[in-house]
Amino acid sequence: MRRVITALALALLVSVVFTPAVVAQDDAAPVTLRIGLTQDWETLNPTVGFAVSEYEIWNVHYATLTDKAADDFATIPGLAESWEESDGGLTYTYTLREGLMWSDGEPLTAEDVAWNINTARDQEWDNMISTVVNIEATVIDDRTVQLTSSVPDPKLPTMDVYLVPPHIWEPIATDYDSTTQYDALDGVGSGPFVISDFAKGQSVTMVANPNYWGWEGEEPPYDQIIFQLFENPDAMVAALQQSQLDAIHGFPAGSADALEADPDIEVIAGQQGGFDEIAINGGAVEGQPHPALLDVNVRRAISYAVDKEAVIEDLWFGLASPLETMSPGADTKWIPDISGDAAFTYDPERARQILDDAGYLDSDGDGVREMPDGSNPIVLRHAVNTDGDLAGPIGDLFKGWMEDIGIGVELESYDQDALFGVIVDGTYDTFFWGWVPFVDPDPMLSYFTEAELGNYNDANWFDPRFDELYLEQKEELDPDRRLEIVHEMLTILHDAAVYIPMYLGPDLQAYRTDTFEGWVRQPAEIGPVMFSNSSPSYAQLRPIGAGGGDGGGVNWLLIGGIVVVVAAGGAVLLSRRRSTADERE
């Protein structure tokens, strides 16, 4: 599960000053695909990273044993060309493609696959453990690996954990700490492109992997990809319009009309189950929240006071869809129908009545309620993700919503890395962030179990019945029954009122139609073309004419654009953040 990390700074009305300094192209210049985004990379280590921007790099750099079909996420061959089921579905035997190699020319064998799965299980790698926890990998021969699960596993035969090169990692990955602290910048992978340069806060450059099996013996169709970070999303939009970028991800919703007016630009509003939420600290570990939040009545009152429809209309220009409970997978079938009186529909009067009835009154008339004994005014610490363009406006709105029902709010700012630390420590009351789920709901559901407290459990909450059902769905092979279990789990989470899903948010993307062709939506017709579950576009793209140029471009791209911010008349361009990949994104 990718934590959704938002796009960077909220843009005021801006005037962008460009200093082109175009680098001359020549016949020997590399053909470059240039992608603009607004979310930084904290790490490129696939065992522990959580940002959607990071997952996009891993999708391209690391191949997996099985892959996902672009149109419907069906399990299809990846490094394995085929597999056979036995032992009542507990065992699958995979046959690797012939002649597989890592990008540095070393053979990629069944031994490499087994080492990854068994080591990820034994060391409990954060991003792989929910998939491999019950799996034992056994080498049959160089091209054959057998996976045996100790329990029924509805995810098999899918095995989509990233495979790192053991000949590089094994001497380093001696235990969990050494593995997770590795910078993973060795540049060796098995995907279509591999990392060649990483400048945090600036860019990631990836070069074509000549040994990628998907080229089928042909030369790679283009030479490199440059993912360019922009601190200002409007500068990123301008760069696309001026052909300095080939595609952009997470652009401001207010820019959609202008982009659509350009005949050489295609605009995508891709849906893949991503959502944003306001989380409320449930107080399950140390770093306790305000004691009022331990009362479910207070949490429910807060939920009734959040005006989701206003956010969708005013900040999303109507492009997002209402959501009542969490979206755990790419398919919306996993979302239960919670409606009518059970739904937390915006109703501040009801919220005030709940608080009154529970004894949380404003006894001194200062506008802020206190605990029932008259002590400890209810003032919440709301964490604002400074790497998110919507986090600031949402924080201001949340403050107003809460003050309307007699609850104070203090806004505290953190970048995405620091915010994750605050969540792990439990030293927050509320925050706004989001997720882009994987295809299967299991990873997302696992984050709200007791085992994930102090890690990915950002609600700081657990319920014994939820944990029991989690284990049940993990082994349920009947798809209809598993769907019922997941719906029950999400209803429990909803009723606890520790997670307020705001909306299903589309991934706003745009690409030029005059530089590259072959963009692939995942899932078909409704999904994004980049930053998706397996990112199939990159291996399918072909340059048009001279393609994406020399990769040098203009020197302002190296700093994400030179921007002069003008607060003219207080006008605001509200930018859409990336909703993570994810995993925190």
CATH number assigned to the domain comprising residue 28: 3.40.190.10
d(CA 161, CA 164): 9
Measured between its terminal Cα atoms, the distance across the chain in Å is 9
Predicted confidence at residue 546, as pLDDT, reads 56
The answer, as to whether pTM is greater than 0.85, is no
Q: 354 and 249 share a domain? A: no
CA 57 to chain centre: 12
Residue 523, preceding peptide bond in cis (omega within 30° of 0): yes
Q: 492 and 371 share a domain? A: yes
Q: In what order do the strands lie in the sheet with 32-37?
A: 193-199, 203-208, 224-229, 32-37, 247-249, 507-512, 265-270
d(CA 391, CA 400): 14
Q: 152 and 127 share a domain? A: yes
- Say if 408 falls within a structural domain: yes
The residue assigned the tokens 């440059």 is 226
Per-residue tokens: 306:
């959040």
Q: What is the greatest pairwise CA distance in the chain? A: 78
Indicate the residue type of 206: M
- Say if 165 falls within a structural domain: yes
Q: Using alpha carbons, list the distances in angstroms from residue 47 to 129, 287, 325, 459, 498.
A: 9, 26, 28, 22, 28
- Say if 47 falls within a structural domain: yes
Per-residue tokens: 120:
């990820």
- Say if 384 falls within a structural domain: yes
Q: 353 and 423 share a domain? A: yes
d(CA 216, CA 223): 16
Domain termination residue (choose one: 504, 524, 555): 504
Q: 97 and 241 share a domain? A: no
- Say if 249 falls within a structural domain: yes
Dump strand ranges (E) for 127-230. Answer: 135-141, 144-149, 193-199, 203-208, 224-229
| Cβ-contact 306, 407 below 8 angstroms | no
Nearest to 249 by CA among 225, 270, 275: 270
Q: 289 and 344 share a domain? A: yes
Strand partners, 517: 542
Predicted confidence at residue 287, as pLDDT, reads 72
Indicate the residue type of 119: T
The residue assigned the tokens 């000949």 is 167
Q: 48 and 84 share a domain? A: no
Split the chain (585 residues) into runs of 10 and give each run's mean pLDDT. 36 32 53 96 94 96 96 96 96 98 98 98 95 97 98 96 98 96 97 97 97 95 98 95 97 91 96 95 88 98 98 92 94 94 97 98 97 97 90 96 98 92 93 93 95 92 97 96 98 98 95 98 96 96 72 39 32 29 35
Residue 291, preceding peptide bond in cis (omega within 30° of 0): no
Domain termination residue (choose one: 480, 504, 528): 504
d(CA 466, CA 449): 7
Q: 242 and 281 share a domain? A: no
d(CA 250, CA 237): 10
In the chain, how many domains are there? 3
Domain termination residue (choose one: 155, 177, 199): 177
Q: Considering Cα of 414, then 417, then 420, then 421, what sign does the dihedral take?
A: negative
- Say if 182 falls within a structural domain: no
Phi-psi map region of 259: left, alpha, beta (phi>0 left; psi -120 to 50 alpha): alpha
Domain range for 559 is: 2-61+191-271+506-573
Predicted confidence at residue 254, as pLDDT, reads 86
Q: 361 and 499 share a domain? A: yes
- Say if 582 falls within a structural domain: no
Indicate the residue type of 547: G
Q: 95 and 46 share a domain? A: no
Q: 444 and 300 share a domain? A: yes
CATH number at residue 139: 3.90.76.10
Indicate the residue type of 494: H
d(CA 374, CA 330): 46
CATH number at residue 311: 3.10.105.10
Q: 475 and 526 share a domain? A: no
- Say if 579 falls within a structural domain: no
Predicted confidence at residue 300, as pLDDT, reads 98
